[in-house]
Structure 1
Amino acid sequence: MSSSTPITGPILILDDLRDGQMQLAALFIAPKGLPVPPVSAGGMSLQPERLADYASVSVLRARFALPADRPSSYQWNGARYEVAGGFGGNIRIAYASCNGEEHGDLDRDGAERNAMWARMGAEHQKRPFSLLLHGGDQVYADEVTQGHRLSGGWPDKLPSDPSREDLASLRQHLREGFLRRYLAVYSAPELAWLAARVPSLMQWDDHDICDGWGSLRRSSTYSPVGQTLFAMAREAALLFQHGCCDGDLPARFADPEGTHLGWRIDAPGLRLLAPDLRSERSRRRVMARGGWQMMKAEVKREAPGQTFLLSSVPLLGPRLSLLELLMVLTPRMQEYEDDLRDQWQSRAHRASWRRMLRMARDIAALDGQKITAVSGEIHLAARGEMPLGDGKMLHQLVASGISHRAPPKAWARVLGMLSWLGDAPLPGHPVRIRKIPGQAGRYAAERNYLILERQDTQWAAIWDLETSGQSAPLPL
């Protein structure tokens, strides 16, 4: 974003990879009626098209292609933006999650809030990233329900039969509230600089809708207020996370109709697989038919090289059933029950957890294929392992809290102690939580992001932690 223009953008989004090209979308948020200069790429000039209007701004998008295998650039508004490319050879990918906080996020000091984005930007200037993966909670929208008579008591006190006029008013209130959140995030100079130069791929999680979406009681989520909240959150996610709207989803999405928002990207020796763990979620399921069909198809499809399975909540973690039982039995702790029900390790989701782990095992069983789970959500850095047989290992990498302040170190120690109990949801495949290289404990209570790096054909993971600095590379 140029300092001389009120336009927010460009925000670069990877629509797809095909035929040796990155299919890209450049997103802009501009005052309504203000002309947005064209994007120039590959000798073409592309005028951004309007996707949506809000009270005072419009959302626009320009789609174009750049080479996937080498550095290139595009131009906008007198500036040149270098894009690393590099798919198919040596490549660096950044992964971040939890970009915000539940309360007062819009009022935080920008330099403090975005310190790790600034650090990622400095790292990009030293050795460029080809891709930026956002693993969930791109915004913290928990407060958008406040200030309206229908949703002010969310999720516990809701009207049973609101009028059509009141629901229309709520739609407008929530729609503008989501806009404010995304606009604040994308206007931050630390992220804006990166977002204009590194294509993003995003996967949503609960705070992109509201805290605990899908793990809340059915009477709330299926109420008229709850369904209106989900519809407005989904519209905002399509616009601001994927640069599209209904009927216009990029080819990487498994379901063109968008009943779930799972997607896949293929590159030489690399598959990025991102099932949607929120659209179909309920208190008794993580995904429904559409999401599982997507995963079944991916298990059968050959993808030589490394598969990164983006699971917005960690696929491997400590045994949480005892902690979950304690919270249910202790009235003062029951408000945290939804947080545990969000996890694969919840007692409510154990059958689904086993099913997903079997799918990961089956992907790795094919010759020449490896799989690694990458997750956010817990506001800590961590890693885990599960042996898959034949000398293969499922690695779990957790990088969470790019701007969310770290929880108390005591919480990291509690999780570390729980991890000593061990778990084996699949017989003969024990889950173990391991230390990040250089860390004293199994969970690191620092803000962080993750670097995924391929040199020749070998992948490694590096955590960049706010206080500890970069970890030694972990071979995958």
Structure 2
Amino acid sequence: MSRACEAQDIRPAEVPDSKTADKQAEVFEESYDSPRQAGFQPPLYLKCGPLLRFTGIDRKPRMDEPLSRDVMEIWEGSVMVVTVDAMSTYMKPPTLWLFKQTVDLQTSEAQKSAPSGHQLAAEFADPLTGQIKMSRFGKPLYVKPVGSLQERRDLSCDDNNGLFETTEDNQTATTSSNVADLYPEKRDNNQRHEVYKIIGTHLHAERGLTFWKFKLEIPLGPRETRIIYHINHGTTTSFWIPAKGQGMNVMFQSCNGFSLSVDPDPYSGPDPLWRDVLNAHQKRPFHLMIGGGDQIYNDACRVQTRYFKKWTGMKKPRPKQSLSFSAEMQEELEDFYLAHYSSWFSRGLFGMANSQIPMINIWDDHDIIDGYGSYPHNTMATPVFKGLGAVAFKYYMLFQHQSVPEETEQEEQSWLLGAEPGPYIEEFSRSIFTFLGSRVAFLGLDCRTERTRNQILCQNTWDLVLGRCKEKIVKGEVKHLIVLLGVPIAYPRLNFLENALTSKAIEPLKALGRMGILGNLFNKFDSGFEILDDLEDHWTAKHHKLERNWFIRQLQDLAAAKSVRITILGGDVHLAAVGQFYSNRKLGIPQVHDHRYMVNIISSAIVNRPPATMLANLINRRNKVHHLDKETDEDMVSMFQRDVDGKSRRNTHLLPRRNWCSLLEHNRGGLKICINVEKVQGNPAGTSVEYSFFIPTLDYREPRKLIKERLKWRRWPFLGHSAEKR
């Protein structure tokens, strides 16, 4: 099933040695040492984790039948934990035990059989109640019933007495699934189970912490399967993998944190919509969680540091731009990023989701700091800002990709590295190309590492990206390409505001900003307008518009050449929307044959505060049909005729409420998109209203064929009418 890397020469020291060697995972059919509810043995203390990562589904010839045309589909990914050395024992490296379990979903039949209008029992209305999260000591924590939670209060920071409890009460015990289902020896004494033992790889160590990685390769079977795992005999948790040939059930989210100015209490913290996600996961499991950027908000490094905070407060440009990135500043920023990542990625229900749904991520500015990449060159090129970017990149790689910056495409084939290091973050950009099954490909574009005010990716990197797509996408086999961008690419134009804020008429106001007057109206890095970096992040900003339009045409050519439907995911803007590109109506091309038809699903934010309704309405006024060229039009889809309370809405294009999205393969390569929008802000239940959208596969026809068929369609009604007369 898997090849595991076993750490060699690991001694009971504070920081184990990092030498590793490959070892085949051990397989046991009967002998199995079951997990203990008393915690990890040998002892571990988790600073963060477990975190699940997905890297792809690989197709390989069957080793047992080399002449067969049938291929094996292998799920590939990893699990990572971060342990505190002083509270952990490393006589042996941590060990992960894993086995497969094919089960029927608990709630499906009960929900189907409930009479119309009948109130479902608590376990079906909120099936997350009583489910288990692994504590830092490896003991079980039980999800509290939502009715017992205090509203409009952020409970995510309390590990033991906020959203979770250390013992099952009567209500929890009756609503939770049978814990015995998680242990093979307790389910059926006559059933034999293959149990796999995987030794942890020592990935990284610093500041008294060690990062352990368990690499997984799991053959897909004929049925959707739950994968049960535990570490060092601690409490057990699980994730799901699809059946061979099955389309993946995917969850997409972005903007998973609060801006510095936002009080989390009125929103009941970050957890309500994560509860909605995990409730949906109990009913129909997600195989993958896509993070579209801003998985973490690191903006607080500006106020929770000493040396960097002092630098941001400097008013005179020249001393600020020339100040060196000192060892003390690097040390405090590394302390901040490590502590903040460790806390946020294990906190509350997001931390629980990280252990149950494998993730695949790309980053955006807040994963570094607000606006990074979109400030003027004089700011971006300062030693301090370049040093900050290097620190953010290191921890982004560790926590969001379970990798180190030195990892290459040869070591992990899903990486799509840039052609040259970025100008400010002096690392190769890390885009991702992989497969979500046999019919759906995925491209996650790193639009931050190479970003400058004037470009998003350099031309040589664009060539590598498009070359990988052309190489890997096989015409007739791959039906859909999902392209992940941090920022929407089909969105109302905001150039009027961008032009106003960059005009010479407001130079006197900017001078006041450099003096510290007018406070929050200006950012702390170059005294420019606070909102300007957000505007210049957009693909339609004047500096990026040509690159954007070129990229869309390249996607159109790819869609035509491979007859593959392309759908784009984006976040960033803190509202729900759907943009679209399509062939000019005068061309008369049906949607199913239209290679220019590309939908941009915009789902943001799962946590952060949405914009005011007035601002969303103002942006919506900028919506109209734009002409990319003479063949391609673009506009926003009218999706939201009714609000979550059923009332009709004037603004049917943009819905400013917290939301998340699910994507399910439909009709062998098409997609069913569901944007799940928060119903009541501040309600811990996080109940959402679903807005659905279907995207068909592409059956591309050459233009000459289309012309002939359009003529044929025009004749048919006439011929039919004549035949009736005769």
Deviations 1:192-235 (A, max 9, x none): 22211211000000001111111012122211111110000000
Secondary structure of the 1:419 match is coil
Specify the alignment match of 1:83 in structure 2.
240
Deviations 1:95-135 (A, max 9, x none): 00001122167976895322111110000001111100000
Kept after mapping to 2: 8 A contact 1:41/1:64? no
Secondary structure of the 1:453 match is strand
Specify the alignment match of 2:633 in structure 1.
430
1:251 matched to 2:413? The reply is: yes
Cα drift, residue 436 of structure 1: 2.2
1:64 matched to 2:233? The reply is: no
Q: CA–CA distance in 2 between the matches of 1:475 and 1:31? A: 47
Q: Counterpart of 1:391 in structure 2: which amino acid? A: D
Specify the alignment match of 2:445 in structure 1.
275
1:32 matched to 2:85? The reply is: yes
Once the two structures are overlaid, the 10-residue window that deviates more, 235-244 or 218-227, is: 218-227
Task: State which of 285, 292, 303 in structure 1 corresponds to 2:462.
Answer: 292
Q: Counterpart of 1:385 in structure 2: which amino acid? A: Q
Deviations 1:427-475 (A, max 9, x none): 3311111122554321111100001011341311000100183334211
Q: Counterpart of 2:672 in structure 1: which amino acid? A: A
Secondary structure of the 2:621 match is helix
Cα drift, residue 55 of structure 1: 2.5
In structure 2, the CA distance between the partners of 1:339 and 1:373, relative to structure 1 (3 Å rule), is: same
Q: CA–CA distance in 2 between the matches of 1:55 and 1:17? A: 35
Q: CA–CA distance in 1 between the matches of 2:462 and 2:38? A: 45
Secondary structure of the 2:502 match is helix
Q: CA–CA distance in 2 between the matches of 1:290 and 1:470? A: 43
In structure 2, the CA distance between the partners of 1:367 and 1:60, relative to structure 1 (3 Å rule), is: closer
Kept after mapping to 2: 8 A contact 1:437/1:474? no
Q: CA–CA distance in 1 between the matches of 2:469 and 2:494? A: 28
Task: State which of 245, 250, 253 in structure 2 corresponds to 1:96.
Answer: 253
In structure 2, the CA distance between the partners of 1:74 and 1:294, relative to structure 1 (3 Å rule), is: farther
Cα drift, residue 25 of structure 1: 1.4
Secondary structure of the 1:396 match is strand
Specify the alignment match of 1:369 in structure 2.
564
| Percentage identity across paired residues of the two chains | 20
Cα drift, residue 418 of structure 1: 0.8
Q: CA–CA distance in 2 between the matches of 1:154 and 1:264? A: 37
Q: CA–CA distance in 2 between the matches of 1:278 and 1:87? A: 35
The 5-angstrom pairing of residues 302-341 of structure 1 reads 302-303=473-474, 304-329=478-503, 330=506, 331=509, 334-341=529-536
Once the two structures are overlaid, the 10-residue window that deviates more, 218-227 or 268-277, is: 218-227
Task: State which of 443, 446, 450 in structure 1 corresponds to 2:661.
Answer: 450
Specify the alignment match of 2:122 in structure 1.
none
Secondary structure of the 1:171 match is helix
Specify the alignment match of 1:414 in structure 2.
618
Q: Counterpart of 1:383 in structure 2: which amino acid? A: V
1:124 matched to 2:281? The reply is: yes
Specify the alignment match of 2:689 in structure 1.
470
Once the two structures are overlaid, the 10-residue window that deviates more, 262-271 or 450-459, is: 450-459
Gaps of 5+ in 1: none
Q: CA–CA distance in 1 between the matches of 2:537 and 2:622? A: 18
Cα drift, residue 81 of structure 1: 1.1
The 5-angstrom pairing of residues 140-151 of structure 1 reads 140-146=297-303, 147-151=305-309
In structure 2, the CA distance between the partners of 1:3 and 1:58, relative to structure 1 (3 Å rule), is: farther
Q: Counterpart of 1:73 in structure 2: which amino acid? A: I
Q: Counterpart of 1:96 in structure 2: which amino acid? A: Q
1:186 matched to 2:338? The reply is: no
Kept after mapping to 2: 8 A contact 1:449/1:463? yes
Cα drift, residue 386 of structure 1: 0.8
1:211 matched to 2:430? The reply is: no
In structure 2, the CA distance between the partners of 1:84 and 1:470, relative to structure 1 (3 Å rule), is: farther
Specify the alignment match of 1:237 in structure 2.
396
Q: CA–CA distance in 2 between the matches of 1:203 and 1:3? A: 37
Q: CA–CA distance in 2 between the matches of 1:128 and 1:426? A: 42
Q: CA–CA distance in 1 between the matches of 2:601 and 2:254? A: 12
Kept after mapping to 2: 8 A contact 1:86/1:130? no
Q: CA–CA distance in 2 between the matches of 1:29 and 1:436? A: 42
TM-score normalised by length of structure 1 = 0.92
Larger Rg, first or second structure (1 or 2): 2
Kept after mapping to 2: 8 A contact 1:382/1:444? yes
Task: State which of 586, 600, 605 in structure 2 corresponds to 1:396.
Answer: 600
Secondary structure of the 1:292 match is helix
Secondary structure of the 1:335 match is coil
Kept after mapping to 1: 8 A contact 2:213/2:402? yes
Kept after mapping to 2: 8 A contact 1:235/1:245? yes
Kept after mapping to 1: 8 A contact 2:433/2:442? yes
Kept after mapping to 1: 8 A contact 2:314/2:320? no
Kept after mapping to 2: 8 A contact 1:363/1:370? no
In structure 2, the CA distance between the partners of 1:311 and 1:25, relative to structure 1 (3 Å rule), is: same
Cα drift, residue 293 of structure 1: 2.1
Once the two structures are overlaid, the 10-residue window that deviates more, 332-341 or 198-207, is: 332-341
Secondary structure of the 2:501 match is helix
Kept after mapping to 1: 8 A contact 2:94/2:212? no
Q: Counterpart of 1:276 in structure 2: which amino acid? A: D
Q: CA–CA distance in 2 between the matches of 1:153 and 1:433? A: 42
Cα drift, residue 49 of structure 1: 2.6
Deviations 1:135-191 (A, max 9, x none): 00011111213323245333875644445xx62111111111112221222222311
Cα drift, residue 338 of structure 1: 1.2
Q: CA–CA distance in 1 between the matches of 2:82 and 2:268? A: 22
Cα drift, residue 360 of structure 1: 1.7
Kept after mapping to 1: 8 A contact 2:640/2:654? no
Q: CA–CA distance in 2 between the matches of 1:149 and 1:311? A: 33
1:138 matched to 2:295? The reply is: yes
Task: State which of 309, 320, 332 in structure 2 corresponds to 1:173.
Answer: 332
Once the two structures are overlaid, the 10-residue window that deviates more, 306-315 or 437-446, is: 437-446
Kept after mapping to 2: 8 A contact 1:9/1:196? yes
Q: Counterpart of 2:311 in structure 1: which amino acid? A: G
Deviations 1:358-415 (A, max 9, x none): 1221122135310011000101110011104643411010001111011111111111
Q: Counterpart of 1:379 in structure 2: which amino acid? A: H
In structure 2, the CA distance between the partners of 1:106 and 1:197, relative to structure 1 (3 Å rule), is: farther
Q: CA–CA distance in 2 between the matches of 1:461 and 1:189? A: 27
In structure 2, the CA distance between the partners of 1:177 and 1:220, relative to structure 1 (3 Å rule), is: same
Q: CA–CA distance in 2 between the matches of 1:382 and 1:18? A: 33
Specify the alignment match of 1:11 in structure 2.
51
In structure 2, the CA distance between the partners of 1:259 and 1:367, relative to structure 1 (3 Å rule), is: closer
Deviations 1:293-323 (A, max 9, x none): 2332145333421111101110111122222
Aligned positions, number:
472
Q: CA–CA distance in 1 between the matches of 2:261 and 2:198? A: 38
In structure 2, the CA distance between the partners of 1:154 and 1:424, relative to structure 1 (3 Å rule), is: farther
Q: CA–CA distance in 2 between the matches of 1:32 and 1:23? A: 29
TM-score normalised by length of structure 2 = 0.61
